[in-house]
Amino acid sequence: MFFKNNTDCTHSRITPEIESGYCPDCGKFIQNKWYLTRCSCCNVKRKTVIKQGKIQPAEKFCHNCGAKEFFVQPVRAIDFIDINYAVLVKEESANNSEATSQYWVEREPEPLKLLGFRTA
């Protein structure tokens, strides 16, 4: 998984305690999402970091079985155990473009003559 940081804002006021909210500094809607990596081989949790925009284990090899392969797992409800392993990703959704695409445009009322009135 890759994450791009398009803005300079780090949304520092969207703290990990809240699930989501509008960043008071840039106005973007921010969702706090937690991810952790697990060993593909033995399924053990691995300490997770983000390097070059990519979620990956901090160590190259699993401390439990020595495997290199891992998978990324989203964490729905972070708890005090997982918090030691997981990374927090602040996902932006551009509320401005969303508002535009969801904006409902009323059709122009059609002229009366198109509504089925027939004059003999």
Residues 35-94 that bind Zn ion (CB under 5 A): 39, 41-42, 62, 64-65, 67
**Are the C-beta atoms of 42 and 64 separated by less than 8 Å?**
yes
Residue 98 parent element (H or E): helix 95-101
Q: Which stretch, 6-14, 48-56, 80-88, 98-106, contacts Zn ion (CB under 5 A)?
A: 6-14
Cβ closest to Zn ion, residue 39 vs residue 86: 39
In the chain, the N- to C-terminal Cα span, in Å, equals: 68
Cβ closest to Zn ion, residue 44 vs residue 75: 44
SS3 per-residue string spanning 57-95? ECCCCCCCCCCCCEEEEEECCCCCCHHHCCEEEEEEECH
Residue 27: which of 103, 93, 89 has the closest Cα? 93
Cβ closest to Zn ion, residue 60 vs residue 118: 60
Cβ closest to Zn ion, residue 64 vs residue 93: 64
Q: Which stretch, 25-33, 69-77, 79-87, 104-112, contacts Zn ion (CB under 5 A)?
A: 25-33
Instruction: List contacts with Zn ion (CB under 5 A).
Output: 9, 11, 23, 25-26, 39, 41-42, 62, 64-65, 67
